[in-house]
Amino acid sequence: MEKQTELYRGKAKTVYTTEDPNRLVLHFRNDTSAFDGEKIEQLDRKGMINNKFNHFIMSKLEQAGIPTQVEALLSDTDSLVKKLEMIPVECVVRNIAAGSICRRLGVEEGQVLNPPTFEFFLKNDALHDPMINESHIRTFGWAEERDIEQMKALTFKVNDVLKALFDEAGMLLVDYKLEFGLFEGKITLGDEITPDGCRLWDKETRKKMDKDRFRQGLGNVVEAYEEVAARLGITLD
């Protein structure tokens, strides 16, 4: 299916309409951003890697019974997806402490979180994606009660599937962010699951293999993403 008009240009992807009003094309760009878009760089091959990575992961989740946006891989950088009515919240699960939870709660990076934590954030760059709770979601009508429960349940189900998948490939799934939307009234996983939106550490050495390499200026960002893909058996070229 062909891309038609540009609907939205985000920080890392451009969204296009198609001839089918219920389908969109997600175009994964090389743009890599951190700190609310304060740090931006073009990383060669990143769009292609994330597009193929996302398609692989979403297909695995679909096979595991999780409703996802996935339709088809169209090209190196483009995927056909279901057009979701996005819910403006981000769902974050953490298995190990890193990033904002360390800053907020004074927890040491690397502490195992048992049980894993669940957090909602409001998707709003101007407000720096503040942390919110279910009461805010209800009061401001960002999602229905039933959908709040579904998002939580599905986010934990994703954890079960992905923790095992990465573990078998020698990696720890530290944390990740999911975005959901409604498709024909049903909560469906959208956006992306890539090393841009999760933290992955080597199981033995704890080497960072995700966007923290970019955030923290550790170098070899794309090389790390490629290694994650290779370990999962994702064909890139």
55 binds ligand UDP (CB under 6 A): no
Retrieve residue 104's tokens: 């907020």
Contact assessment for residue 81 and residue 180, using Cβ atoms and an 8 Å cutoff: no
3 binds ligand UDP (CB under 6 A): no
181 binds ligand ADP (CB under 6 A): yes
CA 134 to chain CA centroid, Å, is 21
Taking each helix axis from N to C end, the angle separating 46-63 and 145-168, rounded to the nearest 10 degrees, works out to: 110
Work out how close the CB of 184 gets to ligand ADP at its nearest, in angstroms, rounded to a whole number. Answer: 13
The per-type count for the chain, helices as H runs and strands as E runs, is: 6, 13
Conformation bin of residue 154: beta by default, left when phi > 0, alpha when psi is -120 to 50: alpha
Q: By Cβ distance, which residue is nearest to ligand ADP? A: 10
88 binds ligand UDP (CB under 6 A): no
* Binding test (CB under 6 A) with ligand UDP, winner from 13, 82, 211, 213: 211
Closest by Cα among 93, 98, 94 to 110: 98
Contact assessment for residue 214 and residue 34, using Cβ atoms and an 8 Å cutoff: yes
Nearer to ligand ADP, 86 or 169 (CB): 86
Retrieve residue 173's tokens: 């799934």
Cis peptide before 21 (omega within 30 of 0): no
Interface with ligand UDP by CB under 6 A: which range of 59-67, 96-104, 110-118, 217-225? 96-104
86 binds ligand UDP (CB under 6 A): no
Nearer to ligand ADP, 78 or 191 (CB): 191
Nearer to ligand UDP, 103 or 146 (CB): 103
Work out how close the CB of 21 gets to ligand UDP at its nearest, in angstroms, rounded to a whole number. Answer: 28
Q: 10 Å Cβ neighbour count for 182?
A: 16
129 binds ligand UDP (CB under 6 A): yes
Nearer to ligand UDP, 82 or 177 (CB): 177
Nearer to ligand ADP, 69 or 159 (CB): 69
Could you give the string, one character per residue 26-65, with x where binding to ligand ADP holds by CB under 6 A and - elsewhere? ----------------------------------------
Question: Token match 């979701």: residue?
Answer: 84
Identify the bridge partners of residue 72 per DSSP, sorted by sequence position: 80
Closest by Cα among 213, 215, 173, 216 to 193: 173
Contact positions toward ligand ADP, by CB under 6 A?
8, 10-13, 15, 24, 69, 81-84, 86, 179, 181, 190-191
Residues forming the site for ligand UDP (CB under 6 A): 90, 92, 99-101, 129, 175-177, 197-199, 211
